């Protein structure tokens, strides 16, 4: 059994760790709310842009739609954008995304990796994929984002995606990231960006609002209605469609990063909450062990006193 001094030292160390994990839990909770608020700011613009796009598509020709949405690309190359964090202490946040990304590459064949975050970059650079069945070539790297990601942080990534889209370097561009369902639930998911589909853009706009918890009531708001008016389109219908699509893609990519950012803070909050609870439980166990050690020492002292008294009385 550990001595009283050792138990006191352990209790002090556990208490200090608990204070740190509790503070990190509160900080992560605050950052999670701020990350959600940043994502929600883009929702009004995204909804109006999507409604305008749907209206313009009614008058677009089939060739224009195919050209804008990239439906006529025969390129078989795949790019997978893997969004992870730069930091740790976030539970299974990074490992879940990396497992989903490795599974996607194994199923689809060789794919270029676009690493967003140091954890994903290090995983594919150092470890590659299980059993070496497929190579993992890192086409681009983006990291050192702010704790609360902003549009400025996401701009280089969005520019890279739009540039490769225009140059038709890849036939498919997908994103593997964490879907923020609620503060307690986050799921890794692979979502396609190109070839672009209207239903995917619609789903992306809807996903800006979390399914449950705070802010979920915003999903009950009425859908944006655009009146069927005869617009004068300048400079041209195709250029306007391209501009609207490009901006919606920027919002889509930004939202995926925002969603991953909120999920990271949520996962870190839960990890620190569990660590705090474990520290409380360990502190209780150590305190109980300390009390038992004290009781044992007192009992031993009383026994020694009684024995000495009996020995003196017998003489």
| pTM to 2 decimal places | 0.80
pLDDT bin (cut points 50, 70, 90) of residue 241 is confident
Residues in contact with 205: Cβ distance below 8 Å, sequence separation at least 6, in sequence order: 43, 46, 47, 50, 251
The reply to whether domains 4-23+273-305 and 26-270 share a CATH topology is no
- The tokens for 135 are 């190579």
Cβ count within 10 A of residue 37: 14
Residues in contact with 77: Cβ distance below 8 Å, sequence separation at least 6, in sequence order: 112, 169, 170, 171, 172
Q: What is the pLDDT of residues 255-277, one digit of tens each?
A: 889 889 988 999 999 999 999 99
The full DSSP string for 126-176 is II-SGGG-S-EEEEEEE----SS--HHHHHHHHHHHHHHHHHT--SEEEEE
* Average pLDDT value for residue range 38-46: 76
Lowest mean pLDDT segment, chosen from 25-39, 60-74, 137-151, 288-302? 60-74
Burial 93-107 (b: 16+ CB within 10 A, else e): bbebbbebbbebbee
What distance in Å separates the CA atoms of residue 177 and residue 160, rounded to the nearest whole number?
A: 17
The 3-state DSSP class for residue 183 equals coil
Domain boundaries, the chain: 4-23+273-305, 26-270
What distance in Å separates the CA atoms of residue 245 and residue 6, rounded to the nearest whole number?
A: 65
Better pLDDT: 197 or 65: 197
* Average pLDDT value for residue range 137-148: 86
Lowest mean pLDDT segment, chosen from 10-14, 39-43, 141-145, 170-174? 39-43
pLDDT bin (cut points 50, 70, 90) of residue 281 is very high
Given CATH 3.40.1380.10, say whether it is the number of domain 26-270: yes
Position 198 pLDDT exceeds 70: yes
Q: What is the pLDDT of residues 172-195, one digit of tens each?
A: 889 999 988 877 888 898 988 888
Asked if 193 and 175 touch (Cβ cutoff 8 Å), the reply is yes
Place of tokens 């960006």: 193
- The tokens for 114 are 């676009």
Bridge partners of residue 82, in order along the sequence: 115, 176
Structurally, what CATH architecture does the domain formed by 4-23+273-305 represent?
A: Orthogonal Bundle (1.10)
* Average pLDDT value for residue range 50-65: 69
pLDDT bin (cut points 50, 70, 90) of residue 131 is very low
| pLDDT given at position 98 | 92
| pLDDT given at position 59 | 65
What distance in Å separates the CA atoms of residue 206 and residue 15, rounded to the nearest whole number?
A: 44
């Amino acid at each position: 059994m550990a001595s009283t001094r050792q138990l006191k030292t352990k209790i002090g160390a556990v208490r200090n760790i608990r204070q740190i994990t509790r503070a990190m839990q509160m900080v992560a909770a605050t950052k999670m709310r701020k990350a959600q608020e940043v994502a929600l700011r883009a929702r009004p613009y995204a909804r109006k842009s999507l409604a305008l796009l749907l209206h313009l598509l009614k008058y677009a020709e089939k060739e224009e739609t195919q050209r804008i949405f990239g439906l006529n690309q025969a390129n078989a190359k795949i790019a997978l954008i893997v969004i992870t964090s730069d930091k740790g202490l976030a539970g299974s946040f990074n490992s879940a995304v990396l497992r989903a990304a490795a599974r996607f590459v194994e199923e689809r064949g060789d794919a270029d990796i676009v690493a967003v975050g140091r954890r994903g970059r290090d995983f594919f650079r150092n470890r590659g994929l299980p059993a070496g069945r497929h190579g993992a070539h890192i086409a681009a790297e983006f990291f050192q984002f702010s704790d609360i990601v902003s549009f400025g942080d996401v701009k280089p990534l969005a520019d890279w995606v739009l540039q490769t889209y225009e140059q038709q370097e890849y036939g498919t561009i997908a994103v593997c990231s964490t879907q923020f369902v609620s503060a307690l639930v986050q799921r890794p998911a692979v979502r396609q960006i190109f070839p672009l589909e209207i239903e995917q853009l619609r789903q992306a706009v809807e996903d800006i609002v979390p399914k449950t918890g705070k802010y979920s009531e915003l999903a009950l708001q009425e859908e944006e209605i655009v009146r069927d008016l005869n617009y004068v389109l300048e400079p041209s219908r195709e250029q306007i469609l391209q501009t609207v699509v490009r901006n919606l893609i920027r919002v889509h990519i930004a939202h995926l990063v925002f969603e991953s950012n909120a999920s990271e803070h949520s996962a870190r909050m839960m990890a620190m909450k569990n660590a705090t609870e474990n520290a409380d439980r360990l502190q209780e166990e150590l305190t109980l062990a300390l009390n038992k050690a004290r009781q044992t020492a007192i009992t031993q002292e009383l026994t020694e006193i009684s024995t000495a008294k009996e020995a003196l009385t017998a003489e």
